[in-house]
Amino acid sequence: MSRASVLVVLLVFAGSATALLAYATRDSSGSSIASPVTIPQPTAAQLEAAYLGKLPVAPESERVDVVAPVFSDPTTITNPLFPISDLHSAILTGSVDGKAFHTETTLLPDTRIFEWAEGQQVETLTSQYAAYLDGRIEEVALDYYAQADDGSVWYFGEDVFNYDENGAVADTEGTWHAGMDGPPALIMPAAPHVGDVHRPENVPGFVFEEVTVKTTGKTVDGPRGLVRGALVSRELHQDGTYSDKVFTPGYGEFYSAHGGDVEALALAVPTDALDGPVPAALEALSGGADAAFVAISANNWKAASARVGTLEDRWRTYRSQQVPPRIAAEMSLAITALERAVTARDQARAGTAAIDVAQSALDLELRHRPQAEIDRTRFELWVRQLLVDATARDLAGIRGDLATLEWIRDRFATTLDPVELTRVDTQLVGLRGALNDRDLGGISAGAARLRATLAAMSV
């Protein structure tokens, strides 16, 4: 009788009738030798139970996400079409429901471990996706990714927080976790070919999407010119509709449109990073936005109007250089909004517009400065917005501002020393308490203290 033995383990995901058959053998020394594992797939009955039974899904024989690869170094994600390890920060812009849409995607320093099948754990990177609709927080998602040894990138779930018009979490619809709710999902093959089919989301009843690769090697317009090697995929959504999504080397997700809504990449680092310090013309734009905010806060409309004129001149000068077009469009809109609000002497709208100009300038500075520095400055700008909304007695705005601050904090927390971080966290907790008490005076005072804390840290 051979000294090698064969162990066959049958694993069944909760709520699924589909089994995962894993094989392991032991050699003469007793060492375990792993062999391929089949990813469990939702059954036709499950699709039917989730009212997805009529979806024209591809046969399993056409799918490239059924056999699970090995994960030896899962947090090194270098797939050129989904390079999460190297993509520190990305900005996308567009429109949703006819309103301006802006997102910031940031790689966080922490990781998370998923046991996607019994005894099979994978460590994943965490990417924070923050979406703003018409300038206010709409959604935040923590997405979990890992790369297999063959170069394919897998999606292990997300924690989703959807915000309502009052700045509060309305629901967590879209949240799912591999191993608890269903199988991990393939988000980018190692070497995509036309006709490949896979499911980036594969949990009927929670999330579901099937993708077919339509085109590879396409050339598209990017933030700094032409980008070659793009992939275009056709997505089948769970409502039976289709849309196209574009991925490009160095950027990952590049463009998507569905039902009139558009989300397109505006800038990403390090792909779009530039050598050298922040140009003087760009620094002048940031400084001008700061000066306009000070004048508006003091109700000094003559000074504010003069600052707007200077900003317009500085923007014309800087825009003559190579500026990512989608960021340029946002900056132009912000300056126009600022000019109109100052003319109308509307302090709340003018203060917000001045902050928006500063935010667009920060987007451009991302090409020259480290991501954590940019997010630390973004944090300070949202503290300003908190002051604007407290003055306007806008509780919904305050609630959304504070949620935004709490999320941005996670992007740069590891760059602070423990005392600084404790001070910031304590003041955020104090602001949350003042909001719960509807203490507008306490919110204004707390925001002023937090601005002072940030200013002292930057010295």
**84-93 residue pLDDT tens:** 999 999 999 9
Structure tokens belonging to residue 27: 């050699």
- The whole-number pLDDT of residue 35 equals 41
Q: Is 458 exposed, middle or buried (0-12, 13-18, 19+ CB in 10 A)?
A: exposed
Structure tokens belonging to residue 317: 């000068």
What domains are there in the chain, each with its CATH number? 89-269 (2.40.360), 280-457 (no CATH)
**For residues 23 and 20, what is the distance between their CA atoms, to the nearest angstrom?**
10
- The whole-number pLDDT of residue 14 equals 36
pLDDT exceeds cutoff 80 at 327: yes
Relative to beta strand 169-171, strand 89-96 is unpaired
pLDDT exceeds cutoff 80 at 254: yes
Residue 15, amino acid: G
Write the pLDDT tens digit of every residue in 379-409. 999 999 999 999 999 999 999 999 999 999 9
Write the pLDDT tens digit of every residue in 413-452. 999 999 999 999 999 999 999 999 999 999 999 999 999 9
With 0.85 as the threshold, say if the pTM is over it: yes
pLDDT exceeds cutoff 60 at 190: yes
Q: Give kind and range of the element (H or E) at residue 381.
A: helix 371-391
Query: Considering only CA atoms, which of 88, 114, 200, 121 is closest in space to residue 153?
Result: 200
Write the pLDDT tens digit of every residue in 192-250. 999 999 999 999 999 999 999 999 999 999 999 999 999 999 999 999 999 999 999 99
Determine the average pLDDT of the residues in 337-358.
97
Is residue 386 within 8 Å of 348, Cβ to Cβ? Answer: no
Is residue 117 within 8 Å of 37, Cβ to Cβ? Answer: yes
Report the alpha-carbon angle 370-428-433, nearest 5.
160
The phi and psi torsions of 132 (rounded to 5 degrees) equal -120, 130
Q: Give kind and range of the element (H or E) at residue 153.
A: strand 153-163
